[in-house]
């Protein structure tokens, strides 16, 4: 991020904060009660054949300050503050951090092959090791090691994770106007683990790949969410119309910088690679859109309940949060081969869930059609294509006394599909691909002991993740969670023209193998201890 | 639209047909004013005395079997109060008079003719009526309960080890209830319109504490059609979205407590899920009292209440028993045994308070027929509770304990029940409200 943009952004954030607070004063609001809650947590993960991969220490505090208002039925200021220190860069600087050299690009994923003759290993934390590459990646993957160790303490003031005001205004006709304004997460859709409609906030995959709760890894944005709640009508049991305006400066998803313990798709090291023998860098420049009114993002959602079904129709104008590589005719001004861009995308979609009384189960369907996305390909770096993504989900709560508990188990299965409408042969992503997930979760000892298993299988990548865990909550404050995260697969290769079309790992097969397959050497045992208040 | 029209027509037809025949004064008096001509008595029993291990045998017939066992074992003692009149709101009584003369059971199990409001079967139950139990169950379902709407604001649940007394978890909720139909007191009566799916009742709950459950919200829509399963929605704070739940698992231990969802309020399921048997009428001691006359309160769990309200205290073995007074009352004994043979319970015995049709005591038995759990809902008189509840005619659920006698574990709950329609507007019971209130 450039200095100028950062300054503009920070001022804007402060201005909106002031407006939020000032706005309350204008409604003759007075402060009532304030409630605080939060936790301190240590997450220690150990990676097979590597060693310590995470020693994350988090402190989080949340508050809600209710305001009394003559105008609004309810009005409050809400905030979430979070600070994190990940000690892995101090405790295991051999494998992670600015000195974490790898033998070949993708060494934490695959053996060396012909592609590694062309591409050099990625430079860990380029801004610590290669000023020219750091300049090329300016504003995107330009973290220093200390930024990874203390991820919230940055120019975007991410330690203020959320800060927004929200309220309900009763209307004369009995409807309600609800709003929330400020830095926040806004969630669309009904899918766990994968995002179809839930794309309003970008995501920080560097925290723990795709495996942390989205709640903890969505990157909050400065947004307005205005909802006209019409309630029941002659036809619908509930109907609402929402408008979302993301007026924040665009932020892409964080894929993890080379040298971090979690770098989804190993993209960070690929972006910090170069042609062997001192050749050009892979990345020449990052073209992040600057803040302007025209660059803001907005969407609308119509949502309701009809009988046994709840549904939504969604439309969104936003930007692709994953990078698109645009090939240059030759090495660019910064001696790089590709510029990273984040194209504009239009999305229409919807979601529905239906309770089947006969099956005593819930079916979920979520669908999104986008125009403007760009996917990787062998020739020319990228191709724009329309995309169709969908999820079919099945949820059932089932009491199984034979398993020794009277608490109902949750069985949740999902099939996440992706169809590339303008697919071409040199795309590493398959024209149609599916990922299946299964969650089986139970509760014992008055719900204080909870074992679960999550499984995910990527059909195209022939990759599987299995994550069993057990959580123990001895009282209202302490929580201990012990888990395993084991992956299989990641062995797919894809033809690459610079090596004569030979099937190799780098750089394209990372898309074929997906986030599960590329992390195939990240088998871990994970212990989390939390004290909440 | 079609459904709504049919409902309107049906209601109109019922209202017209019943306008010509009202329930007699004698039936109304017997049903709603059982103590008009005096309160029941039991030899040796008097207000102010305490029943304990030493004298409990003398009062065995004035106690349900589980309470007798607890006292006999020395797990608790029972303070006796005066029998008091818990008169329900006049609007409910008048609705009974107006609408209930023609109400009949349907041909099928769990079916009833069209009803508008009030107690559908106000006549005294008869042992020779094979469907008397079913009628009592309907009277409970359409009882005045929390009135047209109310809130428990807040509501503390404690999970306790009965052997050690250790409190394992404390959960703080807010609960809200709203009747969409069968309304009698607050406009609109008798039903909220529009109501296209014909909801009978909405229940909305949100968890305030502890942190790991904070922002969890639950919304239940119960339908007029008793054969239809509830629509249940869950908002999880850590997911920030509404999940639909399959609702057939009513034997689920709710949030790990000792209560099944089906246990709430005495019975919280479909009439058609149980076979109902009326076992007779008795005068026994029930946990009904004047909250403001209690002498011992829990001063720790809930502090600095703006109304100065204090929560009921607990004591006895493991802290599993309310420190309240009990009074001798006219009670209908009703047994329910599940239609589903795989149900974990073989039967429940409900002790229904004849005047209010609340269920202050329920005992349940496991599949082997052994005593499993004992459920007590302390009922507080509205005129001796919060000032806002005075005159509401609602028998206030005020304190709860569910004791699992096999696991030696209990869940207790302390209420601040508020009968104030302003706390439970209809939009509280919408899915969108969960998103708006969620973090």
A4 vs A24: CA distance, rounded Å: 30
Inter-chain touch A229–B427, beta carbons under 8 Å: yes
On whether the CB atoms of residues A393 and A368 are closer than 8 A, the answer is no
Which residue on chain A is closest to B215 by alpha carbon? A37
On whether the CB atoms of residues B221 and B230 are closer than 8 A, the answer is yes
Segment holding B436, helix H or strand E: helix B431-437
Q: Distance of CA B128 to CAs B30, B93, B157, B283, Å?
A: 19, 26, 41, 20
Q: For strands A478-488 and B297-298, give the pairing.
A: unpaired
CA atoms B375, B381, B387, B393: torsion sign:
positive
What pLDDT, on the 0 to 100 scale, is given for residue A241? 98
Q: How far is CA B425 from the centre of its chain?
A: 21
Inter-chain touch B211–A533, beta carbons under 8 Å: yes
| Nearest CB to B214; choose among A37, A166, A355 | A37
Q: Find where tokens 């106007």 sit.
A: A177
B116 vs A452: CA distance, rounded Å: 47
Inter-chain touch B1–A235, beta carbons under 8 Å: yes
Segment holding B1, helix H or strand E: none
Which residue on chain B is closest to A225 by alpha carbon? B436
On whether the CB atoms of residues A313 and A197 are closer than 8 A, the answer is no
Cis peptide preceding B429, ω within 30 of 0: no
Inter-chain touch A232–B195, beta carbons under 8 Å: yes
What pLDDT, on the 0 to 100 scale, is given for residue A31? 53
Side-chain half-sphere CA neighbours of B249 within 13 A: 24
Cis peptide preceding B194, ω within 30 of 0: yes
Q: How far is CA B424 from the centre of its chain?
A: 18
Percentage helix, strand, coil for chain B under 3-state DSSP, each rounded to 5: 25, 35, 45
Q: Which residues of B are less than 8 Å from A168 in CB distance?
A: 436
A452 vs A472: CA distance, rounded Å: 12
Q: Which residues of B are less than 8 Å from A480 in CB distance?
A: none
Give bridge partners of residue A21 from the DSSP assignment.
none
| Nearest CB to A215; choose among B238, B243, B253 | B238
Pick among B225, B256, B433 to test the A interface (most A CBs inside 10 A)? B256
Pick among B243, B261, B301, B423 to test the A interface (most A CBs inside 10 A)? B243
B234 vs B204: CA distance, rounded Å: 10
Tell me how close the Cα of A429 comes to any Cα of chain B, in angstroms.
29
| Nearest CB to B436; choose among A168, A310, A407 | A168
Domain ranges of chain A: 3-532
Query: What is the number of residues in chain A?
Result: 533
A297 vs A112: CA distance, rounded Å: 42
User: pLDDT tens digits for chain B (439 residues)?
Assistant: 344 444 444 545 444 444 458 999 999 999 999 999 999 999 999 999 999 999 999 999 999 999 999 999 999 999 999 999 999 999 999 999 999 999 999 998 889 999 999 999 999 999 999 999 999 999 999 999 999 999 999 999 999 999 999 999 999 999 999 999 999 999 999 999 999 999 999 999 999 999 999 999 999 999 999 989 999 999 988 888 898 888 777 888 898 999 998 999 999 999 999 999 999 999 999 999 999 999 999 999 999 999 999 999 999 999 999 999 999 999 999 999 999 998 999 999 999 999 999 999 999 999 999 999 999 999 999 999 999 999 999 999 999 999 999 999 999 999 999 999 999 999 999 999 999 988 7
Q: Which residues of B are less than 8 Å from A357 in CB distance?
A: 228-229, 248
On whether the CB atoms of residues A415 and A426 are closer than 8 A, the answer is no
Give bridge partners of residue A183 from the DSSP assignment.
A163, A222
Among B162, B159, B183, CA closest to B170: B159
A353 vs A366: CA distance, rounded Å: 8
Inter-chain touch B436–A229, beta carbons under 8 Å: yes
Pick among B427, B433, B434 to test the A interface (most A CBs inside 10 A)? B427
Inter-chain touch A229–B246, beta carbons under 8 Å: no
Tell me how close the Cα of A298 comes to any Cα of chain B, in angstroms.
19
Q: How far is CA B257 from the centre of its chain?
A: 17
Going by C-beta distance under 8 Å and a sequence separation of 6 or more, which residues neighbour residue A32?
Answer: A65, A66, A67, A68
Q: DSSP character for B247? A: -
What pLDDT, on the 0 to 100 scale, is given for residue B250? 84
Tell me how close the Cα of A284 comes to any Cα of chain B, in angstroms.
38
Q: Using CA atoms of B301, B304, B309, B314 in order, give the dihedral in degrees to the nearest 10.
A: 20
Inter-chain touch A360–B238, beta carbons under 8 Å: no
Quote the crossing angle between the two packed helices B25-32 and B90-99, to the nearest 10°. 140
Among A501, A413, A390, A407, CA closest to A448: A407
Encoded tokens for A163: 């800060």
Query: What are the per-10-residue average pLDDT scores of chain A (533 residues)?
Result: 36 39 41 86 98 98 94 95 98 96 96 97 97 94 95 95 97 95 95 91 96 96 97 96 98 97 97 97 96 97 95 98 96 97 98 92 96 94 96 93 89 97 97 98 95 98 98 96 98 96 97 97 98 96
CATH architecture of A3-532: Beta Barrel (2.40)
Tell me how close the Cα of B379 comes to any Cα of chain A, in angstroms.
26
Q: DSSP character for A528? A: E
**Interior angle at CA A274, CA A269 and CA A276, nearest 5:** 120
| Nearest CB to A476; choose among B170, B245, B253 | B170
Segment holding B438, helix H or strand E: none
Inter-chain touch A310–B244, beta carbons under 8 Å: yes
A111 vs B152: CA distance, rounded Å: 62
What pLDDT, on the 0 to 100 scale, is given for residue A261? 96
Cis peptide preceding B190, ω within 30 of 0: yes
Pick among B432, B437, B438 to test the A interface (most A CBs inside 10 A)? B432
On whether the CB atoms of residues A348 and A360 are closer than 8 A, the answer is no
3-state secondary structure of B338: strand
Side-chain half-sphere CA neighbours of B100 within 13 A: 25
CA atoms A312, A317, A321, A327: torsion sign:
positive
Inter-chain touch B214–A178, beta carbons under 8 Å: no
The structural domains of chain B, ordered by start, are 49-86+146-437 (2.50.20.10)
Phi, psi at A405, each rounded to 5°: -150, 150
Side-chain half-sphere CA neighbours of B327 within 13 A: 19
Q: Using CA atoms of A134, A135, A137, A141 in order, give the dihedral in degrees to the nearest 10.
A: 40
Q: Distance of CA B52 to CAs B46, B74, B329, Å?
A: 14, 7, 19
B268 vs B396: CA distance, rounded Å: 17
Inter-chain touch A360–B244, beta carbons under 8 Å: no
Q: How far apart are the first and last CA of chain B?
A: 35
Encoded tokens for A105: 């690009």
Encoded tokens for B430: 């919408």
Going by C-beta distance under 8 Å and a sequence separation of 6 or more, which residues neighbour residue B122?
Answer: B23, B27, B28, B30, B31, B32, B96, B100, B139
């Amino acid at each position: 991020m450039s200095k100028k943009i950062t300054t503009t952004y920070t001022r804007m954030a402060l201005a909106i904060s002031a407006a939020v607070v000032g706005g309350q004063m204008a409604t003759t609001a007075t402060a009532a009660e304030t409630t605080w809650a939060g936790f301190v947590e240590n997450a220690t993960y150990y990676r097979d054949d590597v060693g310590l991969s995470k020693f994350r220490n988090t402190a989080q505090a949340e508050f809600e300050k209710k305001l009394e208002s003559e105008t609004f039925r309810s009005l409050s200021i809400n905030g979430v503050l979070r600070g994190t220190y990940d000690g892995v860069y101090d405790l295991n600087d051999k494998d992670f951090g600015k000195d974490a050299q790898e033998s070949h690009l993708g060494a934490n994923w695959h053996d060396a092959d012909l592609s590694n003759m062309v591409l050099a290993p990625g430079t860990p934390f380029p801004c610590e090791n290669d000023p020219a590459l750091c300049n090329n990646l300016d504003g995107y993957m330009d973290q220093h090691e200390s930024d990874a160790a203390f991820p919230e303490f940055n120019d975007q003031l991410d330690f203020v994770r959320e800060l927004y005001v929200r309220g309900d205004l009763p209307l004369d006709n009995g409807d309600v106007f609800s709003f929330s304004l400020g830095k926040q997460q806004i969630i669309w859709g009904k899918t766990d683990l994968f995002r179809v409609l839930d794309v309003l906030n970008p995501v920080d995959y560097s925290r723990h790949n795709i495996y942390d709760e989205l709640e903890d890894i969505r990157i909050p944005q400065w947004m307005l969410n205005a909802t006209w709640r019409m309630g029941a009508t002659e036809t619908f049991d509930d109907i609402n119309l929402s408008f979302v305006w993301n007026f924040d400066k665009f932020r892409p998803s964080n894929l993890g910088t080379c040298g971090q313990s979690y770098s989804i798709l190993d993209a960070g090291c690929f972006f910090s690679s170069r042609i062997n023998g001192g050749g050009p860098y892979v990345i020449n420049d990052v073209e992040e859109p600057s803040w302007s009114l025209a660059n803001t993002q907005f969407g609308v959602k119509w949502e309701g309940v009809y009988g046994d079904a709840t549904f939504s129709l969604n439309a969104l104008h936003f930007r692709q949060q994953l990078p698109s590589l645009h090939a240059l005719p030759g090495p660019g001004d910064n001696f790089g081969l590709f510029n990273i861009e984040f194209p504009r995308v239009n999305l229409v979609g919807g979601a529905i869930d239906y309770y089947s009384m006969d099956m005593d189960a819930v079916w979920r369907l979520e669908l999104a059609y986008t125009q403007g996305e760009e996917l990787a390909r062998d020739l020319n770096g990228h191709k724009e294509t329309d995309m169709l993504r969908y999820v079919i989900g099945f949820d059932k709560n089932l009491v199984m006394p034979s398993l020794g508990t009277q608490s109902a188990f949750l069985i949740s299965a999902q099939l996440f599909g992706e169809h590339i409408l303008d697919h071409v042969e040199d795309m590493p992503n398959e024209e149609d691909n599916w990922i299946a997930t299964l969650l089986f979760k139970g509760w014992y000892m008055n719900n204080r002991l909870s074992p679960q298993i999550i499984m995910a299988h990527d059909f195209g990548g022939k990759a599987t993740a299995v994550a069993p865990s057990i959580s123990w909550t001895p009282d209202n404050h302490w929580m201990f969670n012990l888990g395993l995260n084991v992956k299989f697969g990641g062995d797919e290769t894809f033809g690459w023209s610079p090596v004569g079309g030979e099937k190799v790992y780098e750089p394209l097969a990372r898309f074929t193998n997906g986030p599960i397959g590329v992390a195939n050497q990240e088998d871990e045992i994970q212990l989390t201890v939390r004290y909440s208040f | 639209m079609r459904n709504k029209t049919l409902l309107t027509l049906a209601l109109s037809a019922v209202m017209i047909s019943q306008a010509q025949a009202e329930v007699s004064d004698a039936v109304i008096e017997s049903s709603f004013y059982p103590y008009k001509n005096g309160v029941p008595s039991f030899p040796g029993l008097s207000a102010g005395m305490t029943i304990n291990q030493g004298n409990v045998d003398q009062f065995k017939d004035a106690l349900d079997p589980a309470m007798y066992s607890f006292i006999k074992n020395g797990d608790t003692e029972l303070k006796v109060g005066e029998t008091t009149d818990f008169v329900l709101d006049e609007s409910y009584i008048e609705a009974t008079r107006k609408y209930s003369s023609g109400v009949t059971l349907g041909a099928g199990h769990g079916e009833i003719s069209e009803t508008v409001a009030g107690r559908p079967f106000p006549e005294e139950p008869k042992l020779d009526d094979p469907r008397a139990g079913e009628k009592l169950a309907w009277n409970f379902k359409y009882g005045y309960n929390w009135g047209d709407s109310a809130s428990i604001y807040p509501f503390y649940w404690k999970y306790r080890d009965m052997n050690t007394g250790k409190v394992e978890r404390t959960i703080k909720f807010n609960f809200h209830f709203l009747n969409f139909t069968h309304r009698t007191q607050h406009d609109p009566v008798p039903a909220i319109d529009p109501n296209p799916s014909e909801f009978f009742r909405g229940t909305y709950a949100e968890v305030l504490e502890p942190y790991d459950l904070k922002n969890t919200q639950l919304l239940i829509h119960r339908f007029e059609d008793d054969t239809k399963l509830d629509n249940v929605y869950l908002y999880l704070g850590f997911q920030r979205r509404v999940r639909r739940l399959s609702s057939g698992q009513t034997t689920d231990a709710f949030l790990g407590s000792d209560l099944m969802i089906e246990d709430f309020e005495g019975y919280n399921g479909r009439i058609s899920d149980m076979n109902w048997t009326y076992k007779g009428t008795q005068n026994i001691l029930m946990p009904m009292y004047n909250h403001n006359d209690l002498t011992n309160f829990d001063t720790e769990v809930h502090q600095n209440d703006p109304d100065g309200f204090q929560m009921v205290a607990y004591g006895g073995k493991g802290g599993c028993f309310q420190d309240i007074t009990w009074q001798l009352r006219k009670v209908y004994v009703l047994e329910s045994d599940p239609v589903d043979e795989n149900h974990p319970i073989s039967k429940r015995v409900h002790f229904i308070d004849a005047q209010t049709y609340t269920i202050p005591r329920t005992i349940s038995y496991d599949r082997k027929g052994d005593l499993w759990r004992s459920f007590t809902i302390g009922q507080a008189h509205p005129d001796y509770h919060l000032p806002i509840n005075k005159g509401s005619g609602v028998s206030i659920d005020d304190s709860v304990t569910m004791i699992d006698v096999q696991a030696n574990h209990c869940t207790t709950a302390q209420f601040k029940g508020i009968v104030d329609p302003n706390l439970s507007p209809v939009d509280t019971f919408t899915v969108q409200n969960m998103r708006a209130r969620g973090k």
